Chains A and B, each alone.
Chain A
Amino acid sequence: MSDTGKSVPNIQKILHRKDLKRSIKYQMGEVIIEKIIFMIGITAIVILGLIFYYLVSTGLNVFREVSLSEFFLSIGWFPVSVNPKYGTVPLIVGSLIVTFGAVLISVPIGIGSAIFISEVAPSKTRTVLKVIIEFLSAVPSVVLGFLGIVVLSNWVRIVFSISTGFTAFTGAILVSLMALPTIISISDDAIAAVPKDYRDASLALGATKWETIWHVLVPAASSGIIAAVMLGVGRAIGETMAVLMVTGNAAQIPDTMFTSVRTMTATIAAEMGDTVRNDTHYFALFAIGSMLLFMTTIINTIADYVVSRGKREGR
């Protein structure tokens, strides 16, 4: 060692000694840690698998008492009457009509805002807008439901001059507010991910910024935008508190958007407290939960597929 003075310890010797000590200790430690991490990873996955198994296996019990055709096809949901009926059609229709209304509102607004935020707004405005939209996604649904009761339902009642403001339409507006942040942030990501070359190529050909956005960027980001809409739909179907609080909760098949409905989610939240463990009503609510689980899983899987296919084809 050229510059080893007398006061400098021989590091190589120290390291060598430590090497020998470390060899056994650390190799064992490493194996143990790897095992622990593996166990943790598996635990989380087991929990997640358990959710599927538990819901479905509990829910299936409903068919010991209720026929498949009654559960899925009949239109009477009277679980607590003397002669109980477990037809889920009104609940499914209720969920679908609120979701449909919410999608009708949130998709055009969501995609439009995403384009504005990612392409039109100046950078500082963009940051502020993004924070506002993320804030909207953080607002608890019960707070939205509260505002739905004290503000929105009154507006709906007055504007459309109907007897009650607790309607599917009121629910759809609130649910659209919950789906919007999902749609906006994912569409925004998709538009931002379009390679800069596309933009430059179009602008260099003399197209305006708007023409570039409309004819190049939006088509190029289409798979991401479709996925955003799908995930927004998933969010809307699963929304519970806001719809429970403002849709009036009548388990009926509505003829317009301006009547009361009851969604699948609201049914579970409202009725679970009245059930007895392991009675038919209890099982029926688990079966509805399983249906929700399947619906959102299918929607999410399709969204994931659309995104990965889009990536493969470079769209």
Chain B
Amino acid sequence: MTKVSVTRLNLHYEEFHALKDVSLDIKDKEVTALIGPSGCGKSTFLRTINRMNDLIDNVKIEGEIKLEDQDIYKKEVDVAQLRRRVGMVFQKPNPFPKSIYENVAYGPRRYGIKAKTHLNEIVERSLKKAAIWDEVKDRLHKPALSLSGGQQQRLCIARALAMEPEVLLMDEPTASLDPIATARIEELINELKKEYAIIIVTHSMQQAARISDKTAFFLMGEIVEKGKTKEIFTVPKDKRTEGYITGRFG
């Protein structure tokens, strides 16, 4: 089932044409990896799906992005609610300078969930889903910034899961982590795709190959090639994809 459907998306930042005629369908319960060199537009593309680009002045967006059957750039769309349905995990772990518990409860609280029992359940369930519950259950009220980088990132994932999103955007979530922490996050992504549509931007070819079902290769704001990960990595159709992949492997 198609969860997010992007059709002929163009994004201009002032004079710069950052995304050119991008079309991509993202299926539910799959991991879609976006790869490509720095500045190719993959992160910009990711941020169009929860409209985080709205925060930047002078950005112009044309084309259509549908979440299920709703066009998310329609005027009547409440951006905050869209972002609740489309969760995001950032490149650098960014827990709030609050306790572990408060970090996870932050989102639900903003939606008026006040009952302590509900919040406790949400926090526990989210932390369990993010595979960090056992490590933090005894110190839920300690500052989140006292956790290690890998734990902070899993906490950020738990924080996003607390909102019961339908899509999870991940912007190079392991870029600042060591290999062991990276492996744990990758394991977690594998677990999470049973429930969510996951879109991940990554610099690491190996990571894309390991965890994704579909891959889209971005170059200079265009999608050069997209399809099943296995096929792209074994028999790329486009010369440029081949060059990029082999260059990185070799």
A residues lining the B interface (CB < 8 Å): 1-3, 8-9, 11-12, 14-15, 18-19, 21-23, 26-27
Contacts and interface: CB of A to CB of B under 8 A. Distances in A.
B121 A22 contact: no
B148 to A, nearest CB: 26
24 contacts: A2-B194, A2-B195, A3-B125, A3-B128, A8-B121, A11-B113, A11-B118, A11-B121, A11-B122, A11-B164, A12-B164, A15-B84, A15-B108, A15-B111, A15-B113, A15-B163, A18-B111, A19-B81, A19-B84, A21-B112, A22-B81, A23-B78, A23-B81, A26-B80
A11 B108 contact: yes
B116 to A, nearest CB: 13
B84 A9 contact: no
Interface string B59-82: 000000000000000000010110
B47 to A, nearest CB: 21
Given A18-B112, A19-B111, A8 B84 contact: no
Query: Which 5 A-B residue pairs are closest in the complex by CB-CB distance?
Result: A12-B164, A18-B111, A18-B112, A11-B164, A19-B81
B201 to A, nearest CB: 26
Given A11-B121, A15-B164, 12 more contacts: A8-B125, A9-B118, A11-B125, A12-B164, A14-B113, A14-B118, A18-B112, A19-B81, A19-B84, A22-B111, A23-B78, A27-B78
Interface residues of B, number: 18
A21 B81 CA distance: 11
Contacts of B121: 8-9, 11
Interface of A (DSSP majority class): helix
B237 to A, nearest CB: 37
A1 B128 CA distance: 13
Interface of B: 78, 80-81, 84, 108, 111-113, 118, 121-122, 125, 128-129, 163-164, 194-195
B87 to A, nearest CB: 12
Nearest to B117: A9
A1 B108 contact: no
Given A1-B195, A2-B195, A27-B78, A22 B125 contact: no
B60 to A, nearest CB: 23
Contacts of B128: 3
Contacts of B194: 2
Contacts of B112: 18, 21-22
A23 B195 CA distance: 26
A31 to B, nearest CB: 13
A22 B109 CA distance: 12
Contacts of B129: 3
Nearest to B164: A12
A265 to B, nearest CB: 44
A150 B163 CA distance: 69
A2 B113 CA distance: 23
A214 B195 CA distance: 64
A246 to B, nearest CB: 49
